[in-house]
Structure 1
Amino acid sequence: MNRFTLTVSAAIARVTESAHGPYQSAVIRIGFSATWLMFLLRELPHRAELYGPDSPWSWILARQLIDTNGAFTALMWSDGRVWFELVYALAVLASALLLVGWRTRTMSVLFMVGVLSLQNRSVFMGDGGDNVLHLMSIYLVFTRCGRVWSLDSRRARRAEAARARGERVTDRVGPALWLVLGAVLITVTATGGFHSQWTIPALLWAAWAAQALWWLVGRRTGSAEPRILLDVIGNILHNSALVVIMAEACLIYATAGWYKIQGSRWQDGTAVYYPLHLDYFSPWPALGGLLSSSGTMVMLVTYGTVVVQVAFPFTLFNRRVKNVLLAVMMTEHAAIAVILGLPFFSLAMIAADAVFLPTPFLHRLGAWTLRARELVFSRDGRAPVPQQRAPENSEATHVGSRT
């Protein structure tokens, strides 16, 4: 067997044997669900004006546009206020449950439905962060983002321990969710409720059928081969989705950087000055004035932004340089959140950047979180939770750690 064949075999095994980047996928799950949840809670008093019956973009106008572009939104199934409130509440609930990692396979689908339903209802309400969240909510459906730092992982450990003691483990919640969601899908399909292109409805049906197949293979077949096959398919989808998320983040920065290069204000180093003096982007006018008072600082930030965005995709081939630029970009987004008053855009971009975080750093982050939790519980008089070590297996490999 020659070297090329061995290389191809190793590459195939790497893609199929395990779901890579479990910590990175958990971070992006937490990041995007937290961003959307905080946005929904902040806009709770204004939800009807943004996405509901009181919106200037009326239900009739939205229906006319959706009939043209085929976008998916559950808010087109009815124009009633009760239905809108129900969809909004389900979007909040799905975001919260995905954040803590409860039934992540189901919640990731419901999270996508909530994001697409609200954003496609009022397409003129979004910004760049909403566009990122829109795409990432679809990609998350294909990831196995509940392997670590989730209630699912805790439930799996407890079930494994119970089986080791010879106890029988029964899951009633999963089949109940599957039956309820299946009834909704059947009802909407039978009544012609889908007014969108076939892609999202097909994805919903495929996810529903895959859940049933996974349950049947895991509990009704005596052979391990079908389960191994499904696990391989799941690993391929997960790893492919992570690669797509990484490529999407690189594409965002590359296109933004190259478009900036073509702008005259970015070429002369003054582009950052102007948004600092716009009322819409000045929650702290004094802070913006202080930063823009130095021409040298404005020039350095302007040119530095362009250099970092254009260079970042090329730094993936050098781990140390990539980590440095990653820290710079996250710091820049944090500054944008405070100085320009764009917290949700910045949080969405930081969540997208998190897919490139190195695994050792995430291990330390998890350890710091556990220590903080133990400290809080000990002050409350509760027994501290024993620290869990990170799994030392191939799943802890960062999908981008070799780049």
Structure 2
Amino acid sequence: MGNDSTGFWGVLRRPFVLDLRALALLRIATAAVLLIDLAIRSTDLEAHYANMGVMPIVAVLDHGWTPYQFSLHAASGMWQFEALLFIIAAVLAGALLLGYHTRLATVASWVLLVSLQNRNPFIAQGGDDLLRMLLFWGIFLPWGRVWSWDARGKPAPERLDYFSAATVAYIVQLALLYWCTALLKSGAEWTRDGTALYYAFSLDQVLLPAGRLLYPYPELLRLLTFGAYFTELLLPFALFIPVGVAWWRMLVFGVLAVFHLSISVTLFVGIFFLVNLASIQGLLPGGVLDWITHRLAPHAARARRWRPQLPAWQLPWRLRLERTGAPAPGRRRLARAVRETFVAVVLAYVCWWNLDDVAVIRPAGGLMSAPMRWFGYLFRVDQHWGMFAPTVFKDDGWYILEGTTTDGRQLDLNRNGAPVRYDKPASVVALFKNDRWRKYSENYLFVNNAWMRPYYCNYLLRVWHERPQHPPLRHLSVVYMKEVSLPDYETSTPIREVLCECELAVESGKPKQ
């Protein structure tokens, strides 16, 4: 659908007109992040997705699902089955990256991502919501029209600008992310005192070396706190200004790129910053893309001379997700009207969901009743953007996996069996294999998630005893050295809290709580 910028309606829709090349970059970046996410998750196939791990299917059904959620990954409790699904997901993400049968690859990648996230929701973070929504809106975007395998041998589009309900949804989704993130930060440390980043950098579980360098400067942290808060609150308005659209988009793109790169070097946030960097690729204006196209032209010419043949995917049923021929004009108009209406309805629902989530503007009793949430849970358009909100978590600390051997020695499983020490390690972040484990440990710290702890304790014991070089244990305690973050650089005395204990019955070789 082209862009007629004349007239009242043409001016109103200018902020929602996107370049097809920008949509192609959005597709490529989204697929690349999807592959990175799969690679990181694949290192914990048994631990996070199999019944022998920390989150058996029965536990997810009891504590982590609504009746409307589904998961192909929950069809089996074996890690080998999970590995097969991971391989399929990686192949589909690769097809999406190349733009090979793009819509089919997008739909299938979205289904498998929803399935994977539903399998273990206790290792999820805000970036997962955004990655899921990028794939969902991508189903309705022509992000395979250019710079894709599908576009090879086809005539170039008459126009590179594109407008539809899906482009509106993409822009509004980005704005909702940052608006809701800011509005949920209702604590005084964000809105009045400017101490939020001081407390965030006091959390050793997420603090990286660059953040450690900034930590001793309270006035700088105060300035950065207000800068982050007002960036999230005010910057999205620039996306809706109908004049100077290209300039405003480059401003948003540049500020957000610097913003998320800064987060990535100061705080341990996993793929969060990568998803956010990928999400803004669709904002790039035509002038920038003309420059990129010019620079890439010699490489594109060489690529066109290399034409390996890939097998065509044929669906056995009559209804096809990939069009093989041009439909009749009337049928095309009807399909477009149905698609546009569906996207508009889902976008309205997403706005409603986010409005209900923002407590500062929600009336008493809420806006969205529980019976209306089924659609969000089924299609996973549910979302929550409460990063460090309403205030920053203050209960910092580090974990000691205190194992007692059969001959009475105490070892720390978190440090590969070294003797137990209770002093703070030089790098608390280094105790976590990846951000998924950090998020898991954050979740089982909460009292209402105490049911998670025995599964974790039993898993640790089993994995420890699978290695013959490890001395046998008769007891294991998951210990949290709680260190509350205090104002003005004051330090608190760490408190030893035993979250879970597991004893191995010597005669049976089985753990018991």
- The TM-score, its normalising length taken from structure 1, stands at 0.64
Structure 1 residues 240 and 55, CA gap change in structure 2 (3 angstroms): farther
Instruction: Give the partner amino acid of 2:183.
Output: W
The 2-side partners of 1:337 and 1:281 are apart by: 11
Instruction: Give CA-to-partner distance per residue, 1:309-347, whole Å, 9 cap, x none.
Output: 111222121533443233111111011122213251011
For residue 37 of structure 1, report the CA deviation from its aligned partner: 0.5
Residue 44 (structure 1) aligns with: 42
Residue 248 (structure 1) aligns with: 173
For residue 104 of structure 1, report the CA deviation from its aligned partner: 0.5
Q: Is the 1:142–1:241 Cα contact (8 Å) retained in structure 2?
A: yes
For residue 303 of structure 1, report the CA deviation from its aligned partner: 0.9
The 1-side partners of 2:9 and 2:167 are apart by: 21
The 2-side partners of 1:76 and 1:124 are apart by: 15
Matched, 1:61 2:59: yes
Structure 1 residues 254 and 68, CA gap change in structure 2 (3 angstroms): closer
The 2-side partners of 1:148 and 1:59 are apart by: 42
Residue 115 (structure 2) aligned to one of 117, 120, 144: 117
The 1-side partners of 2:119 and 2:97 are apart by: 24
Instruction: Give the partner amino acid of 2:176.
Output: L
Structure 1 residues 334 and 251, CA gap change in structure 2 (3 angstroms): same
Residue 334 (structure 1) aligns with: 261
Instruction: Give the partner amino acid of 1:368.
Output: R
Task: State the secondary structure of the residue aligned to 1:31.
Answer: helix
Residue 264 (structure 1) aligned to one of 172, 181, 188: 188
Residue 286 (structure 2) aligns with: 359
Q: Is the 2:65–2:118 Cα contact (8 Å) retained in structure 1?
A: no
Q: Structure 1 or 2: larger helix share?
A: 1
The 2-side partners of 1:79 and 1:306 are apart by: 43
Identity of aligned residues (%): 26
Structure 1 residues 148 and 337, CA gap change in structure 2 (3 angstroms): same
The RMSD of aligned alpha carbons is 3.2
Task: State the secondary structure of the residue aligned to 2:166.
Answer: helix
Instruction: Give the partner amino acid of 1:344.
Output: I
Residue 223 (structure 2) aligns with: 300
Matched, 1:274 2:199: yes
The 2-side partners of 1:121 and 1:152 are apart by: 32
Instruction: Give the partner amino acid of 1:288.
Output: G
Task: State the secondary structure of the residue aligned to 2:76.
Answer: coil
Stretch deviating more after TM superposition (322-331 or 101-110): 322-331
Q: Is the 2:249–2:285 Cα contact (8 Å) retained in structure 1?
A: no
Q: How does 1:139-288 map to 2 (within 5 A)?
A: 139-156=137-154, 239-260=164-185, 262-266=186-190, 267-284=192-209, 287-288=210-211
Residue 77 (structure 1) aligns with: 75
Structure 1 residues 109 and 257, CA gap change in structure 2 (3 angstroms): same
The 2-side partners of 1:20 and 1:353 are apart by: 12
Structure 1 residues 104 and 386, CA gap change in structure 2 (3 angstroms): closer
Question: Which ranges in structure 2 are unaligned for 5 or more consecutive residues?
Answer: 1-5, 306-513
- The TM-score, its normalising length taken from structure 2, stands at 0.51
Residue 238 (structure 2) aligns with: 315
For residue 363 of structure 1, report the CA deviation from its aligned partner: 2.6
Matched, 1:26 2:24: yes
Q: Is the 1:37–1:92 Cα contact (8 Å) retained in structure 2?
A: yes
Residue 330 (structure 2) aligns with: none
Instruction: Give the partner amino acid of 1:250.
Output: A
The 2-side partners of 1:300 and 1:370 are apart by: 43
Instruction: Give the partner amino acid of 1:51.
Output: Y
Q: Structure 1 or 2: larger strand share?
A: 2
**Which structure has the bigger radius of gyration?**
2
For residue 11 of structure 1, report the CA deviation from its aligned partner: 9.2
For residue 264 of structure 1, report the CA deviation from its aligned partner: 1.3
Task: State the secondary structure of the residue aligned to 1:154.
Answer: coil
Q: Is the 1:63–1:76 Cα contact (8 Å) retained in structure 2?
A: no
Q: Is the 1:336–1:343 Cα contact (8 Å) retained in structure 2?
A: no
Higher relative contact order (CA 8 A, sep 6+): 1
Task: State the secondary structure of the residue aligned to 2:182.
Answer: helix
Residue 219 (structure 1) aligns with: none
Residue 291 (structure 1) aligned to one of 207, 214, 236: 214
Residue 184 (structure 1) aligns with: none
Structure 1 residues 369 and 265, CA gap change in structure 2 (3 angstroms): farther
Instruction: Give CA-to-partner distance per residue, 1:30-50, whole Å, 9 cap, x none.
Output: 121111111211332212222
The 2-side partners of 1:290 and 1:9 are apart by: 50
The 2-side partners of 1:298 and 1:10 are apart by: 43
Q: Is the 1:48–1:55 Cα contact (8 Å) retained in structure 2?
A: yes
Instruction: Give CA-to-partner distance per residue, 1:285-317, whole Å, 9 cap, x none.
Output: xx2222122223212211111111111222121
Question: Which ranges in structure 1 are unaligned for 5 or more consecutive residues?
Answer: 1-5, 161-234, 375-382, 388-403
Residue 95 (structure 2) aligns with: 97
